[in-house]
Structure 1
Amino acid sequence: MKTTVVRPLDLGEAEVKRWRDLQLSDRDLMNPFLAPEFTLGVGTFRDDVRVAVIEDGPDVVAFFPYERAALGVAHPVGFGLTDLQGIVAPPDLALDAKLLLRSCKLNVWDFDHLIAAQRTFEPFHKVRRVEPVMDLSEGFAAFEAEMKKAAPKSHKTIRYKERKLGRDVGELRYVFSCDDPAELRRLMDLKSEQYTRTGRTDRFAKPWIVELLKHFHETGFGVLSVLYAGDEMVSAHFGLRNANVMAGWFPAYDTRFGKYSTGMIGHLRLAEGCADNGITEIAMGRGGKEFKEGFKGREIAIAEGRVSRPTLGAGLHWARTTPLNKARGAVLDNPALYKRADRVLKTYARLRGRTK
């Protein structure tokens, strides 16, 4: 085995084609976060992105994309923004993970949304969870029929509020792929308001993330979907598309219309729009949103953990991050704690707003 580390933009056409071919070896590798477009996009705006190209004789057998930080610590590309991570390789490939890190001159690789089935990193799992996926392979009518069975009350409520929204505010119109940059800016503004309102860190306060979304929107890798009531944008979603797979990424809604559950209406309209445009599944990401149970058709097993080599840098990183990761994991795994933490963050956001 030979490992060569390069910057994403130094990958040649043949290597990018091989990357795409390797994705076809496992349905979960088709997730947009594992597509070359994602790594190339992030690498355009960040200088710390690298790709390990792994060869066995004359053949490239795997790609290992990562972000390199201080002390030889690495994370998946777009860490904190991605809902699926891993090495792009056939599912039966098992590499020596610590040897891989040494070949990349890394001390640590942290992951929190790793495809759990990947054999290379299986010994290093600390926690396993699942990520829900909407199954649209049989079309929207079949998907909706299953949803009615799995969550009849939720489905009935969504459709009732959808009709009421149309009566009270204006005729509904859904645009699956909107190419207007002003509408993308509006989505980011709505999302920033949500982050502030709920006490979360505003992702769009970082200019490189704003530019990344613009880049994906312009190149067609990102899909902006908008629900209008009359002339009003009431909800929107920005996701990533790779072939027939959509990764849910940034949903947002206008709080003025919150009583109509426009976010839920938007999710159902997104499913319909995806099915009509050749998308067979939507990866929804993990998290404590109970509504996802009614939408999901299957699950992807994901893992959180760390590969580390016995170095000083790895020890310092462990001491700094392990307590925080354990606390965050406990909250995510306990619905009651998740709701309590959510309330605390919202209260903090309200108090912070009063002191400004």
Structure 2
Amino acid sequence: MFSNGRQAGPASERIPKRKPGKGAGMLANRVERILPEDLDKGLKARWTQVQRADTAQRSPFFSLGFLQAVARHRPDLEIGILWQGQRICGFFPFHRRPGGRGVPLAGPIADYQGIVGSAGGLSAQDLLSGCGLTHYDYDHGLRGSPLMAWSAFRHTGSPLIELSAGHDAWYDARRTATSAIKTTERKMRKLTRDIGPLRFTAHDTAPDAWDSLIAWKRAALGGKGVRLILDTPWVRDVTRDIHDTDGPAFAGRMSTLRAGDRLVAVHFGMRSDAAWHWWFPAYDPAVSACSPGLGLLMMCAQQAARDGMAELDLGRGTERYKREFASATRPLCEGSLERVLAPQGAARRLRKLLHGVARDMLPERHLDLKRRAFNRLLGAGRM
């Protein structure tokens, strides 16, 4: 077990509880700040309740188990409890960084960000003030969350394999709509002939699975001057923690595909009790012509349906395989919440204005380059 690096002492000495505004009374909408270790049995139950109430929040990124895994390795994590009168309507996990900057839970590795549950009647100013933040940047917010949508400058989406009607319904529909499934099946037959029988493992604890994932990921980045995110110490610790977690509501999943005795594809992801998330896939480049990664994806979809999952989420992106295998898309958005009078807020409002103008003038590729440059300039998402 890793130490979380927190200082000892009661939570009340480290995070002052926010009181309702003057004259607001007990029924005011308000924010209460706590640390992850202050989540008692009742708060954990409420977290799970508000998450399950919204099917758009099925993702394991909204699960209590994900928060707990991150909290064990990031001492800067806090939670805003969002009250609507005497009722908790949501939870807002964030990392507190210098200068009043808030970063979404798990920042650069989080494919979903923002509030678990809802903001109730709280405005962006209420939320930031209650959490003691001046600004909060996000790039994977739910567009169905009014607070996120109203403060966004860019709309995106997360493709997913919809399994609520069962695996066969998805399979038949996509096999009719695209040649990708037929092509992948043909390549799997070739892989079997060339190397050996295929063997799928939903959660493979063999050491070569993780080692191969890292090696193949590094090889894919070779010469690009880009650091593998899984080599970042806290990310490595969080993902290994998740790998070793296997509960009914949250679990890591290291799925593998072997041809004979040879490992040809691996994927590390996680699941909630309703959704499996496609997170870190890799494959043996020596057999890339046989598309072993896509073969593994198809097997994961079948296993997810067998496990009662409503979806296999492929994560944000426009890669060809996501377009071909996805049967639905969950709307996402990118933007920022900012305090009106804070200098950091002025910079972000200017960014939104300029992005709106550029969107009508520049091709998507150039627009994306400018967006990335602004992110670096503003330190958006930096941990």
User: Do Structure 1 and Structure 2 share a fold, with TM-score over 0.5?
Assistant: yes
Alignment correspondent of 1:37 = 65
Alignment correspondent of 2:185 = 159
Alignment correspondent of 1:11 = 39
- What are the Cα deviations for residues 77-97 of structure 1, in whole angstroms up to 9, with x where unaligned? 111111112211248x34211
2:297 matches 1:267: yes
Shift of 1:224: 0.8
| Cα gap change, 1:94 to 1:120, in 2 (>3 Å) | farther
Is this contact kept in 1: 2:135–2:344, CA < 8 A? yes
Q: 5+ unaligned residues in a row in structure 2: which ranges?
A: 1-28, 369-383
| Deviates further, 305-314 or 70-79 | 305-314
Distance in 2 separating the partners of 1:192 and 1:35: 29
Shift of 1:72: 0.7
For the aligned residue pairs, the C-alpha RMSD in angstroms reads 2.7
Which of 158, 175, 188 is residue 201 of structure 2 equivalent to?
A: 175
- What are the Cα deviations for residues 155-182 of structure 1, in whole angstroms up to 9, with x where unaligned? 2210111000011011110001223344
Question: SS state of the match for residue 79, structure 2?
Answer: strand
TM-score, with normalisation over the residues of structure 1?
Answer: 0.86
Distance in 1 separating the partners of 2:195 and 2:52: 45
Is this contact kept in 1: 2:84–2:121, CA < 8 A? no
Distance in 1 separating the partners of 2:288 and 2:155: 34
Shift of 1:193: 2.3
Shift of 1:311: 4.4
Which of 34, 41, 47 is residue 75 of structure 2 equivalent to?
A: 47
Is this contact kept in 2: 1:222–1:240, CA < 8 A? yes
Q: How does 1:1-356 map to 2 (within 5 A)?
A: 1-90=29-118, 93-151=120-178, 153-196=179-222, 199-220=225-246, 221-312=251-342, 314=344, 318=348, 334=364
Give the letter aligned to residue 117 of structure 2.
A
- What are the Cα deviations for residues 88-127 of structure 1, in whole angstroms up to 9, with x where unaligned? 1248x34211111011110001011100011223321111
| Deviates further, 222-231 or 270-279 | 270-279
Is this contact kept in 2: 1:71–1:313, CA < 8 A? no
Is this contact kept in 2: 1:235–1:252, CA < 8 A? yes
Is this contact kept in 1: 2:151–2:335, CA < 8 A? yes
Question: SS state of the match for residue 106, structure 1?
Answer: coil
| Deviates further, 79-88 or 317-326 | 317-326
Distance in 2 separating the partners of 1:59 and 1:319: 32
Q: 5+ unaligned residues in a row in structure 1: which ranges?
A: 339-356
Question: SS state of the match for residue 219, structure 1?
Answer: coil
Give the letter aligned to residue 251 of structure 1.
P
Question: SS state of the match for residue 164, structure 2?
Answer: coil
Is this contact kept in 2: 1:109–1:307, CA < 8 A? yes
- What are the Cα deviations for residues 168-204 of structure 1, in whole angstroms up to 9, with x where unaligned? 0111100012233442233223223223365533112
Alignment correspondent of 2:376 = none
| Cα gap change, 1:147 to 1:191, in 2 (>3 Å) | same
| Cα gap change, 1:173 to 1:336, in 2 (>3 Å) | farther
TM-score, with normalisation over the residues of structure 2?
Answer: 0.80
Distance in 2 separating the partners of 1:98 and 1:122: 15
Shift of 1:233: 1.0
Alignment correspondent of 2:378 = none
Q: Which has the higher helix share?
A: 1
Alignment correspondent of 2:379 = none
| Cα gap change, 1:100 to 1:324, in 2 (>3 Å) | same
| Cα gap change, 1:258 to 1:135, in 2 (>3 Å) | same
Is this contact kept in 2: 1:48–1:67, CA < 8 A? yes
Q: Count matched residues.
A: 332
| Deviates further, 222-231 or 317-326 | 317-326
Distance in 1 separating the partners of 2:270 and 2:36: 19
Give the letter aligned to residue 126 of structure 1.
F
Question: SS state of the match for residue 222, structure 1?
Answer: strand
